[in-house]
Amino acid sequence: MAGEHFLSVLTTAAADAPTAATALRRWIDGTLRLATGQPHRRHLLVLRSDEARRARGYACERERMRIVGTAGLAAILRRGIADGALPLADPDADAEQIQAILGHCLESGLLRRRDGGAPDSGVADGSDDADLADRVSTFVFRALGAPAPPGSADERPGESGRSGKPGPVGRVGL
């Protein structure tokens, strides 16, 4: 299934990260990139259709994927507690909240339009994806008592605030 593949890619990218902070940033970046990358965006648009949502087993599968995704994120947060990178993390509760933020961003990203067409026209607006990932990461890291996330504009010399784009922290192959 596409959802399992996506979570597998995120989990692998996070596991391969040298630190919990980098793993968390990879998870956020990879999730947000899902809404704009083709063919994933088209697939998500189909899955959010009324017809798909009414399909037998849809709600159970969606909930199962949410649980698996939240568990993967909680594992990253536990790693961050252990290595001291995310000192204020409450893994299970914070994973649910971070997943909710990412879900909202995904939904909003699917509805954005670049060309003035219908929200579900299949046209993705990737113009500010890096900035969105930067804002979400900065918010999450601040909430977890951590310094600026790896690759954020706040971390890079010569750049201030959120004006720059995140640097390479390892690509999630979606």
Q: Where are the domains of the chain?
A: 2-143
With a CB cutoff of 8 Å and minimum separation 6, the contacts of 132 are 32, 105, 109
Q: For residues 50 and 55, what is the distance between their CA atoms, to the nearest angstrom?
A: 9
Exposure b/e, 107-134, CB count within 10 A at least 16 = b: eebbebeeeeeeeeeeebeeeebbebbb
Residue 165 DSSP one-character state: P
We find that the CATH architecture of domain 2-143 is Orthogonal Bundle (1.10)
Nearest to residue 24, comparing CAs of 127, 114, 145, 160?
145
- Is residue 116 pLDDT above 50, yes or no? no
Per-residue pLDDT reduced to its tens digit, 84-111:
999 999 999 999 999 999 988 877 776 5
Q: What is the pLDDT of residues 28-81, one digit of tens each?
A: 988 887 766 666 666 666 666 677 677 787 778 778 778 888 999 999 999 999
Assessment of whether the complete model's pTM goes beyond 0.75: no
- 144 phi-psi bin (left φ>0, alpha ψ -120 to 50, beta other): alpha
CB of 7 closer than 8 Å to CB of 72: yes
